[in-house]
């Protein structure tokens, strides 16, 4: 593309999406995420980058998602989705950061430099799908993304309000028509269709009941489940709460992140003792289950619990299929409860890989297995199936003994319910419900598989999060000097003590995680480690204490 063709890049920026802030912004594990009023120029530039990326990928479709996920409503964000529906290739994160931060005057020359650097053939067609969440700032930002695509003569297609996993799904389908149809309806047809198909084969028995309460976080996931509910033909009775009406604010005192971090039930949900409740997050990619007992004590069934449920049931089906050559493994982060890791390795005999926080790290590690289950404790995860696994299972449906065939057919349906591109709260909800139904289990039986160690998460505000460096999948702190020694000393005082610290990917805070054998001890350890971080890593404000 000759330089003269890039003049429109500057013209669009200057006239419609000027850079009005000098705040440096970095592409992190969740893309760019900050206050919505700082993002318009960034999103415009990501439209430019998506076109370049599409051309580097020979015209395959790239996705742009406008969302701040579990953050509160004043925030927003943007991230790019690669052709197979996975996160943007890590080496491009630096390019995205560079493009987002240059001045308007330097934007044209920087764009030209990036095009040369990545050897993009600008004569190719370019296709970009754009999705957004329910935030009031999202339509304006989606329009900025479209203008970025148009400025480099790409073709934008706006999907409107969709869950983040729906956008990932549509991008994958657009580039691989065997995976499905690249529309919201195509998503329902594949994932909800597979759920209904499998449930029609499974009798409802034992302690399982078809009623499920859902906290929609006042976001897009609840709205989509409200559409899906009408087509479930009685296979699942969804009682939906926090759908965005009655003044409910997105993610405010509700949603998967609130439930997981605060360990409190969300506002706006009616509760019946021992009734299972599923909490989604604002953009529909995280899922947490919980229930209240007859004394109103809350019992959390988080990403670790979902992962172990998947791994144990898929292992059962593989054993019935006698597909012994297929290697199943589970991927976790340091946030995984120590009791879950022990249960997986010692009881289920399933290998575990621990990686850095961030779905891109878990997804990549899961590809090493024929069947890779990955979950963050926050409820973000899915299952990946290699082509070898799919071929092997399909062959058993044709050539196996009757019991083997039956198990293999169930597995094929489970593969179709699964959104393999990214963690997906709706897909995961249907998978959990399928497994509980197949086993005739209620939430108490699910919870009884193992006992979590009590834990606590805290945040410490610091001057510069980059003062904290980590290694060993973020389980060891290498800077500032002396902090890891202090953490080790503190942990040594507590039975079953474990703690780690890591810098946030999006703001100047340090996240602290602690476990011990009682909640009181876990809380004390978390506060003591937080105070050590405050003292040694440049804490700001008051010294950390437990929130009231």
548: pLDDT confidence band, cut at 50, 70 and 90? Answer: low
Q: How many helices (H) and strands (E) does the chain have?
A: 19, 19
Strands, E assignment, 58-154:
62-66, 75-81, 127-132
How many Cα atoms within 13 Å fall on the side-chain side of residue 280?
35
- List residues bridging with 332 in a β-sheet: 354
Q: How far apart are CA 408 and CA 394, in angstroms?
A: 7
Of 4, 21, 54, 69, which one is the catalytic site residue?
A: 69
pLDDT digits (tens, 9 = 90+) for 288-312: 999 999 999 999 999 999 999 999 9
- Give pLDDT, residue 358: 86
Candidate CATH numbers 3.10.310, 1.10.10, 3.30.70, 3.40.120; the one for domain 186-299: 3.40.120
Mean pLDDT, rounded, of the chain? 95
Least confident of 28-37, 306-315, 413-422: 28-37
CATH number corresponding to 303-423+443-447: 3.40.120.10
69 is an active site residue: yes
pLDDT in tens, 118-128: 999 999 999 99
What is d(CA 250, CA 268) in angstroms, rounded to the nearest whole number? Answer: 12
pLDDT for the residue numbered 30: 86
Q: CATH homologous superfamily for 455-536?
A: Alpha-D-phosphohexomutase, C-terminal domain (3.30.310.50)
Asked if the model's pLDDT at residue 412 lies above 90, the reply is yes
Q: Report the pLDDT value the prediction gives residue 5, as an integer from 0 to 100.
A: 67
Binding site for substrate, residues? 376-378, 502-506, 511
Residue ranges at the known binding site: 69, 281, 283, 285, 376-378, 502-506, 511
Answer whether residue 116 shows pLDDT above 80: yes
- C-alpha distances out from residue 333 to 166, 327, 377, Å: 25, 20, 8
Asked if 315 and 455 touch (Cβ cutoff 8 Å), the reply is no
Q: What is the pLDDT of residues 336-395, one digit of tens each?
A: 999 999 999 999 999 999 999 988 899 999 999 999 999 999 999 999 999 999 999 999
| β-pairing verdict for 352-355 and 328-333 | parallel
* Fold for the domain defined by 3-161: Alpha-D-Glucose-1,6-Bisphosphate; Chain A, domain 3 (3.40.120)
398: enclosing H helix or E strand: helix 387-399
pLDDT digits (tens, 9 = 90+) for 456-481: 999 999 999 999 999 999 999 999 99
Which of 442, 379, 445 shows the shortest CA–CA distance to 210?
A: 442
**pLDDT of residue 2 exceeding 60:** no
DSSP string covering 304-332, please? HHHHHHHHHHHHHHHHHHT-TTPPEEEEE
Q: 483 near 535, Cβ under 8 Å? A: no
C-alpha closest to that of 522 among 548, 490, 488, 544:
490
All structural domains of the chain with their residue ranges: 3-161, 186-299, 303-423+443-447, 455-536
* Residues of each annotated binding site for Mg(2+): 69, 281, 283, 285
Please tell me the predicted confidence (pLDDT) of residue 506. 67
The Cα diameter of the chain in Å comes to 71
Contact in structure between 478 and 299 (CB atoms under 8 Å): no
pLDDT higher than threshold 60 for residue 1: no
């Amino acid at each position: 593309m000759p330089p003269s063709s890039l003049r429109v890049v500057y013209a669009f920026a200057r006239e419609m999406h000027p850079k009005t802030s000098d705040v440096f912004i970095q592409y992190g594990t969740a893309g760019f995420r900050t206050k919505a009023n700082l993002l318009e120029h960034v999103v415009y530039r990501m439209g430019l980058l998506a076109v370049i990326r599409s051309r580097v990928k020979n015209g395959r479709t790239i996705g742009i998602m406008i969302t701040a996920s579990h953050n509160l409503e004043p925030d927003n964000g943007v991230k790019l989705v690669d052709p197979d529906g996975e996160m943007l290739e890590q080496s491009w994160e630096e390019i995205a950061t560079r493009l987002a931060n240059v001045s308007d005057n330097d934007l044209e020359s920087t764009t030209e430099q990036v095009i040369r650097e990545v050897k993009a053939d600008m004569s190719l067609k370019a296709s970009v799908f754009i999705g957004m969440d329910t935030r009031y700032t999202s339509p304006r930002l989606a329009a900025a993304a479209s203008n970025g695509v148009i400025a480099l003569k790409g073709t934008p297609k706006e999907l409107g309000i969709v869950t983040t996993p729906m956008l990932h799904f549509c991008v994958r389908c657009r580039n691989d028509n065997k995976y499905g149809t690249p529309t919201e309806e195509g998503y329902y047809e594949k994932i909800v269709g597979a759920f209904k198909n499998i449930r029609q084969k499974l009798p409802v028995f034992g302690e399982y009941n078809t009623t499920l309460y859902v906290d929609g976080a006042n976001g897009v996931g609840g709205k989509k489940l409200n559409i899906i509910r009408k087509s479930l033909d009685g296979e699942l009775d969804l009682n939906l709460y926090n759908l965005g009406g009655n003044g409910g604010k997105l993610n405010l005192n509700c949603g998967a992140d609130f439930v997981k971090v605060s360990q409190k039930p969300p506002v706006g949900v009616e509760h019946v003792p021992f009734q299972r409740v599923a909490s989604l997050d604002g953009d529909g990619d995280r899922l947490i289950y919980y229930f209240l007992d007859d004394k109103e004590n809350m019992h959390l069934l988080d990403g670790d619990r979902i992962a172990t449920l998947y791994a144990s049931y898929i292992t059962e089906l593989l054993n019935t299929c006698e597909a012994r050559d297929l290697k199943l493994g589970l991927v976790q982060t340091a946030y995984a409860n120590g009791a879950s890791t022990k249960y997986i390795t010692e009881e289920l005999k399933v290998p575990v890989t621990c990686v850095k926080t961030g779905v891109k790290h878990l997804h990549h590690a899961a590809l090493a297995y024929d069947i890779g289950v990955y979950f963050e404790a926050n409820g973000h995860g899915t299952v990946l199936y290699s082509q070898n696994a799919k071929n092997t299972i399909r062959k058993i449906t044709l050539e196996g003994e009757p019991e083997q065939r039956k198990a293999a057919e169930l597995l094929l349906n489970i593969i179709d319910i699964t959104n393999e591109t990214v963690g997906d709260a709706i897909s995961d909800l249907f998978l959990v419900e399928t497994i509980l139904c197949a086993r005739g289990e209620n939430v108490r039986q699910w919870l009884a598989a193992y006992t979590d160690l009590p834990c606590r998460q805290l945040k410490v505000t610091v001057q510069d999060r980059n003062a904290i460096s980590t290694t060993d999948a973020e389980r060891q702190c290498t800077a500032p000097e002396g902090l890891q020694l202090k953490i080790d000393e503190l942990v040594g005082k507590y039975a079953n003590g474990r703690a780690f610290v890591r810098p946030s990917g999006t703001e100047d805070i340090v996240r602290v995680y602690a476990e011990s054998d009682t909640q009181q001890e876990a809380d004390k350890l978390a506060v003591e480690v937080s105070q050590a971080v405050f003292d040694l890593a440049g804490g700001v404000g008051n010294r950390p204490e437990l929130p009231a």
